[in-house]
A and B are shown apart, each in its own frame.
Chain A
Amino acid sequence: MTHQHETHCQDILGYLNAYIDGELNPELCSLLETHMETCSNCQIVYNTLKKTIEICQMDSERITLPTDARRRLFTSLNLEDHVNPKSK
């Protein structure tokens, strides 16, 4: 981040999360987008922040309750009679 727009980058950082979440107003969105066109550092922070969220989601999507644990869960809840295979 060059010294001349250091303060501005700090402001941009404060808006990045709202921007990622789609919660930033249009005026600030365009301010941020204009800034990122010329500031590769902020663009990289934005790209990697978004990618960080994405790969954490991808990692978690693969997690399902193991079959044995599911059976134990239903047993602990006295729902043995309802432990049919998942119908998904």
Chain B
Amino acid sequence: MEKNEAQSAIEINELKHKDKHAFANIVDEHSDKIYRLALKMLGNEQDAEDILQETFIKAFNNIESFEGRSKISTWLYRIAVNESLMLLRKRKGSLIDIDAGIEKDDGEVIPQQIVDWCCLPEKELMSNESRQVINQAINTLSDANRAAFLLRDVEGLSTSEAAEVLDISESALKVRLMRARLQLRETLTHYFSDKMLSVIP
């Protein structure tokens, strides 16, 4: 259940007094979702764990700068996304800005494959193999589009919250989201249309 504003204000005040119990409660409440986001952004558990630790260390050390205008979860997501993007840039051995490659990498995505695979049973859609394909598909999105998709569609943030986390306009968020969704749909359609041939006579 979402906390009301008064509860959050008390919590933030306690955090600013470096109250360990209050901080432990925040870690408890948000660690699953920050871990999930980092895991999906980075694709491996060790890196996700590192980012999770780094996120809470930064949050605790910089609690004075948290102004309480946004939710704590939004603020934590923001730290986690920034840390993840920095790690991804390091991996690629490049200091190029995350947005620089977008136009080159992501042209307009036009649906190519028109097969309705929605009728496949859930055990097929959620088999271990399918989940691997889903994760590979998410991994092949550009870093910027992946972050938009994960925040909006997987973590369930509103358009304005996801845009705030990424520090972009709502319209830019929507463009990234659309590209991500269409690209994922294309990859999954390719995979599940083959499955349909083998499952449905």
What is the interface of chain A, defined by CB distance below 8 A to chain B?
1, 13, 17-18, 21, 23, 41, 44-45, 47-49, 51-53, 55-60, 63-66, 69-70, 72-74, 76-79, 81-83, 86-87
Contacts and interface: CB of A to CB of B under 8 A. Distances in A.
A82 B182 contact: no
A57 B154 contact: yes
A17 B149 CA distance: 12
Nearest to A50: B118
A48 B126 CA distance: 15
A65 B135 contact: no
B182 A49 contact: yes
A62 to B, nearest CB: 9
Contacts of A17: 174, 177-178, 181
B80 to A, nearest CB: 13
Contact of A65 (B31, B117, B138, B156): B31
25 contacts: A1-B114, A48-B117, A48-B118, A48-B185, A48-B188, A48-B189, A51-B117, A51-B118, A51-B125, A56-B153, A56-B184, A57-B154, A60-B154, A63-B35, A65-B52, A69-B45, A73-B52, A73-B56, A77-B53, A79-B23, A79-B27, A82-B20, A82-B21, A82-B24, A86-B28
Contacts of B20: 78-79, 81-82
A47 B60 contact: no
Contact of A58 (B24, B126, B185): B126
B177 to A, nearest CB: 6
A52 B32 contact: no
A76 B54 CA distance: 9
B134 A45 contact: no
Interface in B159-186: 159, 174, 177-178, 181-182, 184-185
Interface residues of B, number: 47
Contacts of A86: 28
A44 B125 contact: no
Nearest to B193: A48
A23 B159 CA distance: 10
B23 A52 contact: no
A21 B170 CA distance: 13
Nearest to A66: B45
A55 B114 CA distance: 18
B36 interface: yes
B124 to A, nearest CB: 10
A76 to B, nearest CB: 5
Nearest to A58: B126
B181 A21 contact: no
A73 B177 CA distance: 31
Given A13-B111, A55-B125, 13 more contacts: A44-B115, A45-B185, A53-B153, A56-B154, A63-B32, A63-B39, A65-B32, A69-B52, A72-B49, A73-B31, A73-B56, A79-B20, A79-B27
